[in-house]
Amino acid sequence: MVPALSEYRRLQVGHAFTNPALLTQALTHRSAGSPHNERLEFLGDALVNLIAAEALYQHWPQADEGALTRARAELVRESALAAIARTLDLGAHLVLGPGEMKTGGHRRDSILADALEAVVAAIYLDAGFDACKAAVLPWFAPLIAALPPPGKVGKDAKTRLQEWLQARQHPLPVYTLLQESGEDHARLFRVRCTLTAPALQTEGEGTSRRAAEQQAAQAALDRIAPHA
């Protein structure tokens, strides 16, 4: 069932639609029938990339093309867009077919990210690029502010920790699996990261060993090099 227009009015996306049908289409998944949001998603993808690229160009006036490209990839990746969609509560307003509703499609990263891009396109078609940028930029502002320095974007915590240690000719970290628990479909790993210089041990948890190692490495970086 398509929500009433009053429901959409409670959706705060930073833009008041002149043509609310565009927003309805943007929030309609193909499983719910036509018109759905796939064409809007196509246009929104290009708009999101442009808006993110321009914002980074202004934010980092000295960064080279490679750093800007990696940073844009961080901002527009599926999980980042889905996280923005969740802050806007898009999931609660999605129009899904019975199958997607039953399997929790309103929580799925891919559906949320696509819907966000479609909403961006809907704003653009409703009011033009300037209004679209004005609505969308605040969504990305916290992510841009949280980015590491240009040369560090795209490098995971284990890589950054290794580079920090190598630059000081310190031994590399040793990662030890401490615990593996849970059912096969919901495993939880606990890992220790041990440094000898400086002497330090940190731990991390994750749904994979790699994720736990990354968390432990980040904990070590937070202790010895919070700005690395």
Phi and psi torsions of 57, nearest 5° = -60, -40
Concerning whether 100 is annotated as a catalytic residue, the answer is no
Among 45, 74, 100, 213, the active-site one is 45
Residue 28 pairs in a beta bridge with 95
CA-based end-to-end distance of the chain: 50
CA distances from 68 to 51, 59, 137 (A): 13, 10, 17
Q: Cα(228)–Cα(218) distance, rounded to whole angstroms?
A: 10
Concerning whether 156 is annotated as a catalytic residue, the answer is no
Instruction: Specify the long-range contacts of residues 52-58, CB closer than 8 Å, at least 24 apart.
Output: 52/76, 52/140, 54/133, 55/137, 55/140, 55/144, 56/144
Q: Cα(57)–Cα(38) distance, rounded to whole angstroms?
A: 29
Task: Flag whether 41 is marked binding.
Answer: yes
Among 74, 117, 126, 213, the active-site one is 117
* Burial (Cβ within 10 Å: 0-12, 13-18, ≥19) of residue 128: exposed
Q: Which residues make Cβ contacts (< 8 Å) with residue 11, sequence separation at least 6?
A: 23, 88, 89, 90, 93
Task: Flag whether 78 is marked binding.
Answer: no
Annotated binding site: 41, 114, 117
Annotated binding site for Mg(2+): 41, 114, 117
- Please list the active-site residues: 45, 117
